[in-house]
Amino acid sequence: MNAPDPIIRLRGIRNQFGSQVVHDNLDLDVKRGEVLGIVGGSGTGKSVLLRTIVGLQTPAAGTIEVLGVELNSASEAKRQAIRKRWGVMFQDGALFSSLTVRENVEVPLRDADIDDETRRALADLKISMSGLPYLAGDKYPSELSGGMRKRAGLARALALDPDIVFLDEPTAGLDPIGAAEFDRLIERLSDALGLTVFMVTHDLDSLQACCDRIAVLAEKKVLVTGTMAEMREVDHPWVHDYFHGPRARAALATAAE
């Protein structure tokens, strides 16, 4: 039986800023329903790649296919329809400071043909799904902890019941307990909702806890993809150091407990 087509397919992607080339002839397939962790050293363009897929960065070359639609050649109406089928959680949530949490979550819903009461109820549902208490809906971002802002950002990313969720460093800045709770939340939501998760991270605990596969950015491309166990067999200096270092050993030990 043939494997299903990937939900995201990148071919020949080239990203550059002036004379600085970040990605060159980069290829990547993301499988439907998987949690894919994107890792790489500083300057390898992990967040740039995420921004490229969601349309915030235009590649100099290459094709981006999402949900079977080649975005570069699609009509604007088609691109907008596809964009409604993904959600994005940026670092620290990227919430609107002048809006409450509930109002932030309602933002993607405002173009939907639903009444105010239904929109509010849907926002409250997403807030609950993200692990926030109900009363958090009335708070402003400045009144939340860093972990709560991240959960509010996740609630907004889930607002339109997306097929794909993009997460940019979701556990950065969290204490170990908060980071572990967020990892478990992502795992539960992925399983319960059938989400495909594209997660930029440097957190080895997250890679071990909730990622089905890992893609390593190096040498301006996706150097290798595979499971955590397969990463430990890769003969490349950066990959070896990253997945055999003390933090990697600690993550594996924790998972074995």
Better-scored residue on pLDDT, 113 or 107: 107
Q: Could you read off the pLDDT of 68-82 as tens digits, one per residue?
A: 999 988 999 999 999
Domains, the chain: 32-58+79-256 (3.40.50.300)
Nearest to 183 by CA among 209, 156, 164, 221: 209
Give the whole-angstrom CA distance, residue 89 versus residue 169.
Answer: 9
What pLDDT score does 113 carry? 82
What pLDDT score does 1 carry? 47
Q: Could you read off the pLDDT of 153-210 as tens digits, one per residue?
A: 999 999 999 999 999 999 988 888 889 999 999 999 999 999 999 999 988 999 999 9
What pLDDT score does 252 carry? 58
What pLDDT score does 162 carry? 95
What pLDDT score does 191 carry? 93
Nearest to 232 by CA among 209, 214, 217, 218: 214
Give the whole-angstrom CA distance, residue 111 versus residue 83.
Answer: 13
What pLDDT score does 104 carry? 95
Instruction: Say yes or no to pLDDT of 91 above 90.
Output: no
Q: Could you read off the pLDDT of 114-164 as tens digits, one per residue?
A: 899 999 999 999 999 999 998 999 999 999 998 899 999 999 999 999 999
Q: Could you read off the pLDDT of 23-57 as tens digits, one per residue?
A: 999 999 999 999 999 999 999 999 999 999 999 99
Model confidence pTM above 0.95 = no
Tokens of 43: 């300057």
Q: What is the 3-state secondary structure (H, E, C) of the chain?
A: CCCCCCCEEEEEEEEEECCEEEEEEEEEEECCCCEEEEEECCCCCHHHHHHHHCCCCCCCEEEEEECCEECCCCCHHHHHHHHCCEEEECHHHCCCCCCCHHHHHHHHHHHCCCCHHHHHHHHHHHHHHCCCCHHHHHCCHHHCCHHHHHHHHHHHHCCCCCCEEEEECCCCCCCHHHHHHHHHHHHHHHHHHCCEEEEECCCHHHHHHHCCEEEEEECCEEEEEECHHHHCCCCCHHHHHHHHCHHHHHHHHHHHC
Instruction: Say yes or no to pLDDT of 62 above 70.
Output: yes
Neighbouring residues of 198: CB distance < 8 A, sequence distance ≥ 6: 8, 30, 36, 38, 50, 53, 164, 165, 166, 167
